[in-house]
Amino acid sequence: MTVSIDAALEIGAPVTPDVPPAGPSLAADGTWWADLRAGLGSRPSLSPVTLLDVAREFAVGASAPVGPDGRPPTERTYDLLHSNDLFEVWVIHWPQGGHLELHDHGGSSGAFWVVDGTLEECHFRPGRDHGRFAHRCHAASSGVGFDARYVHDVVNGGQTPATSVHAYSPPMTSMNFYRCEGASLVAERTDYRMDAAWTP
Ligand SMILES: [Fe+2]
């Protein structure tokens, strides 16, 4: 796993990295998300509202990935439903307790639509949430769209498997993963799409 960021984001306040980061960085003036977006250059992107529409459209008839025995897998699994230069769409199966830790989307905007089951998320967005996390549940036939500033974790805390359809624009090239440390977000690592261990 590539570790390319070593910087802390103090929630609701300017950021001072502990050491000069090598590679992508969280900007010291709090506009770290703009750096993420800039990393994607001038690639066009769809809005969160449009992406939520895309996810909802692809959710029609979408089915969860199945294991070799035709049964729901016991691990979080995913299939790419569609991809072009502007956006991509994934279907993800979440077993009970399946989760993806705190992450951003590498400067892409996104959306997800819950097909079956219930997903819970804690999300963080500078400005709108005044630097605080918020928890919410997404039941079947509901979803959320988000811009490049969105940081969240997602878990299936329900009693049944869950299926969701995710849309990202432009297609993701990387994801940064964080941990909470007191009132701070600490970027721990960056996963790149070219990595064998890449998961959307
Ligand atoms: Fe995400």
Answer yes or no: are the C-beta atoms of 112 and 193 closer than 8 Å.
no
Cα–ligand 1 centroid distance for 154 (angstroms): 7
Of 190 and 183, more confident: 190
Q: Degrees (nearest 5) of the Cα angle 151, 137, 77?
A: 70
pLDDT digits (tens, 9 = 90+) for 108-163: 999 999 999 999 999 875 555 455 778 999 999 999 999 988 899 999 999 999 99
Task: Provide the pLDDT for residue 180.
Answer: 77
**Domains observed in the chain:** 2-192 (2.60.120.10)
Q: What's the rounded Cα separation, in Å, for the pair 12 and 169?
A: 27
Task: Provide the pLDDT for residue 38.
Answer: 61
pTM, entire model: 0.78
Backbone angles phi, psi at 80, to 5 degrees: -85, 120
Cα–ligand 1 centroid distance for 51 (angstroms): 13
Task: Provide the pLDDT for residue 47.
Answer: 93
Cα–ligand 1 centroid distance for 152 (angstroms): 6
pLDDT digits (tens, 9 = 90+) for 67-97: 778 887 889 999 999 999 999 999 999 999 9
Cα–ligand 1 centroid distance for 184 (angstroms): 19
Task: Provide the pLDDT for residue 17.
Answer: 29
Cα–ligand 1 centroid distance for 121 (angstroms): 9
Cα–ligand 1 centroid distance for 45 (angstroms): 17
- The order of strands in the sheet holding 133-138 is 8-10, 184-192, 174-181, 99-103, 151-155, 119-124, 133-138
